[in-house]
Amino acid sequence: MRLTETADLWWKNAVVYCVDVETFQDGNGDGVGDFPGLTQRLDHLVRLGVTCLWLMPFHPTRERDDGYDITDYYAVDPRLGTLGEFTEFVRTARDRGLRVIADLVVNHTSDHHPWFRDACSGRDAARRDWYVWCDTPPEDGPRGVTFPDAEQSLWQYHEPTGQYYFHHFYKEQPDLNITNAEVRDEIARIMGFWTQLGLSGFRVDAVPFLLETAGQVDADDLPDPHAYLADLRSFLGRRNGEAMLLGEVNLPYDETLRFFGDPASGGDELTMCFDFIGMQRMYLSLAREQAAPLADALRGRPQPPRWPTRCAGGRSRPATRTGRRSCATTTNSPSTSSPRPSATRSSRRSAPRRTCGCTAGACAAGCPPCSAATGAGSNSPTACCSPCRARRCSSTARRSAWARTSPPTGGSPSAPPCSGPRGRRRASPAPTRPVTPGR
């Protein structure tokens, strides 16, 4: 049997488990999770039935957006371990039949990234065109400002050079210009670098924003953004014929379909997409105790040319969405009773995804770890106190959670201390060397 006939079987049957390395397991006693600690827990994950680990950003960061503002794409945050420890983790996971994928955050960089620092040095800087600049900003796009509570515009004025730069998210996250051939080559190098170290694919962050950036560039003969996504898929396939691209595309179904690519070829862009509409309607059904919202979403969903993935939420713990009520309860909050298994189990073909917080640890609101501090079992409907989706719990709460959690001494290991959602971490040390293309 040819490889092309079986290469997709692993991700079609995968149980993907999302891991925030910093909040998962402390391996050296400094109060911060790391790759040695995660490596120690691989056997536990195997016993859970996990077949693939999805790593949230683990690169050096200034922590302006929970690790999604990266300052070096080719390094591991020194608080989380070394590149060697990362490689050892991937190899150990492979030995146990676990694949590893990671976030690919290339819509933007940190404003402290050496590329952007160079771009800000002058209008004639070598990497000036790696970002999107203009003299007079146009009106914000049809989606408007992504974070209206924190930003007033998608454009930020840079006084030293007298121009505005574009950012879909926070002003500390300038968008890369994917119409620039050098930027495209660099993104391919990033993918090739981590694939060479053993990754089996990537979860592509903010895919619609990544492609929409091209529309902000004032130039003729701009490349087709979707053709670029197909190029990324083709490049990854040449590096690893079994690799996959999981896309974050939070759009209506008819728009999401475009990100799979040409239906005639079975889809030549993203391998899988999250079913955000199904996820949102599932929680609405649970909150109202009515099946109609979820049923309507399932009936209206077209058959994708590739493969969907089911998730019970974002990076927040599903237990916080379906657990007991709290002061944050609203009319649409889930009931105090645990949902029936039939209400949360998907019967359609898909690759299910779980988050590290689905097992145990501090909840999204920062309350004590469910099993260690409260004594509640990890399957208890009252294990976590808040059904709302808090942004992230604090680093202090996470460190105290570890202090209250003793390692197992025998028998079946307890769930690793983790919080699911991440708090704002201490910023990584500033890069000590420039990051240059082609290294």
Specify the pLDDT at position 118.
Answer: 98
Give catalytic status of residue 205 as yes or no: yes
The single residue listed with the structure tokens 């979860």 is: 203
Q: What CA–CA distance (Å, rounded) separates 21 from 259?
A: 29
Residue 341 belongs to a domain: yes
Run of H or E including 157: strand 155-158
The number of folded domains in the chain is 1
Residue 382 belongs to a domain: yes
Catalytic choice (69, 77, 248, 269):
248
Query: 392 is in which domain, residue-wise?
Result: 3-109+181-404
Specify the pLDDT at position 335.
Answer: 31
Question: Hey, what are 328's tokens?
Answer: 């944050």
Residue 265 belongs to a domain: yes
Specify the pLDDT at position 252.
Answer: 82
- Kindly state the DSSP code that residue 211 receives in the 8-state scheme: H
Taken as a whole, the chain contains a residue count of 439
Residue 332 belongs to a domain: yes
Q: Is the CA virtual torsion 145, 147, 151, 156 positive or negative?
A: negative
Residues 130, 183 contacting (CB under 8 angstroms): yes
Q: What CA–CA distance (Å, rounded) separates 191 from 194?
A: 6
Residue 171 belongs to a domain: no
Specify the pLDDT at position 145.
Answer: 82
- Write the pLDDT tens digit of every residue in 202-212: 999 988 888 77
- Write the pLDDT tens digit of every residue in 65-95: 989 999 999 999 999 999 999 999 999 999 9
Catalytic choice (65, 205, 212, 268):
205
Specify the pLDDT at position 274.
Answer: 85
Residue 438 belongs to a domain: no
Give the number of other CB atoms < 10 A from CB of residue 198: 16
CATH number of the domain that 279 lies in?
3.20.20.80
The single residue listed with the structure tokens 């240059």 is: 436
Question: Hey, what are 390's tokens?
Answer: 């808090």
Specify the pLDDT at position 149.
Answer: 86
Residue 154 belongs to a domain: no
Specify the pLDDT at position 286.
Answer: 92
Specify the pLDDT at position 300.
Answer: 84
CA 132 to chain centre: 24
Q: Which residues of the chain have pLDDT under 70?
A: 1-7, 140-143, 213-223, 264-266, 304-439
Give catalytic status of residue 289 as yes or no: no
Question: Hey, what are 79's tokens?
Answer: 């608080």
- Write the pLDDT tens digit of every residue in 378-399: 332 222 222 222 333 333 333 3
Residue 312 belongs to a domain: yes
C-alpha dist (Å) from residue 406 to 383, 401, 412, 413? 18, 10, 14, 11
